Amino acid sequence: MTGRPLLAKSLALAVTIVAIAVSGVRAASSQAADDIAHFIAGMPPSADSPLAALTSDPEWKRHAVFFNSSWKDFENRQLSKVRAWSADNIKQSQPVLYYMFSGPDFLYANAFFPNAKTVIMSGLEPSGGIPQLSDISPRALGRELGGIRASLGNLLKHSYFITNEMGSQLYRSRLSGTVPLIYMFMARSGLTVRDASLVALDKDGKLHPQDEPGLESNAKGVKIVYASSDGEERTLYYFRTDLSDKGVANSGFLQFCQGFGTGDSFVKSASYLLHTQGFSSVRDFLLKNSFVLVQDDTGIPVKFLSTSEWQLRPFGTYLRPIAQFSRNGQPKLVELFKNEHPAPLNFTVGYRWGKPSNLLLAWKSGAASTEVK
């Protein structure tokens, strides 16, 4: 007696999925994109969405329960405190935010810099395709949603992604790459996904559709148009690209960024790459083009932040780097934290999860100093 109801339910789900495909609705179109973002985030899509029927599936229900519980804890433990810190300490923000070595971490970018109109992110993680659910079977649904949860494990626990551990999840999943995770972060942040398209840069930093015939690119990614609660449209770019000096010399990425001019910058959990000579081009770009810089100790070393040009305000507790990066200690940062009597942090940032964290708020001297608390 139980076989027929189960068969009927499976058929109904299959019909729903076929309906999505037949309808010709593109995942990048406004309502469909936002519905997919909500669905991936364990939040109900719009009532008239073909995806609404899939929310009765037990796998999606388990996914929603997991996210609702995990997100409530994460919001209380981290995000609400990050937003409060930002509101107290960043009194003027620029229209553009540069977040190098970000991976898919739009979540912290938005929490620290909620007023950015354009967010430019970059890392080694692949962007993948625009999320599509039209050809995912009910049987595969649980596996795909489970992959999303697995990809988020370190961020929810430790505030950062580990690129090597994310590799298999970002490549092998049908909801592959960073785009589904960014969609999910946007939905959970109360934002609306309006449109998404795959893009690429030529060597001169000009933006092209990724599938443009004959295009050669070392910086491929995604452009996502989204809206805040007031309806104002904003844009996120994520590029998978090599940020080393050799990489940026051939990718056009810094030329693309240069077109946006002065912005704010955010760096965390960046493997101390900006401490090395091999990443001096990105470091120099950030020093030249940042109005406000927020970073943990993996960012630009203090020795490069001249006190004649920058004002510095430390927060939290500076502990020497973890064993893996033990050579990247900064005597000047030790001195700064000793002399400036930094205010405490009530959230964790960086590699020392569960232990005191550090942040450095830096801003250009002059006009900025009267606006940044």
CA distance 122 to 282: 11
Chain-centroid distance of CA 298 in Å reads 17
Residue 297: how many other CB atoms lie within 10 Å: 32
What is the token pair recorded at 33?
């994109």
Residue 273: how many other CB atoms lie within 10 Å: 18
Q: Which residue has the tokens 């625009």?
A: 130
Find the DSSP H helices in 179-310.
Answer: 179-188, 245-251, 253-258, 280-289
Question: Which parts of the chain have pLDDT scores under 50?
Answer: 1-28, 159-171, 367-373
- pLDDT at residue 135, as a whole number: 64
Chain-centroid distance of CA 67 in Å reads 18
- pLDDT at residue 366, as a whole number: 67
| Burial class, 120, CB count within 10 angstroms (exposed 0-12 / middle 13-18 / buried 19+) | buried
- The residue among 175, 251, 194, 249 whose CA lies nearest residue 220 is 251
Model confidence, pTM: 0.87
| Burial class, 15, CB count within 10 angstroms (exposed 0-12 / middle 13-18 / buried 19+) | exposed
Chain-centroid distance of CA 151 in Å reads 13
- pLDDT at residue 362, as a whole number: 97
- pLDDT at residue 88, as a whole number: 97
Asked if residue 352 lies in contact with residue 322, where contact means CB atoms within 8 angstroms, the answer is yes
| Burial class, 89, CB count within 10 angstroms (exposed 0-12 / middle 13-18 / buried 19+) | middle
The one-letter amino acid at 226: Y
- The residue among 106, 103, 108 whose CA lies nearest residue 85 is 108
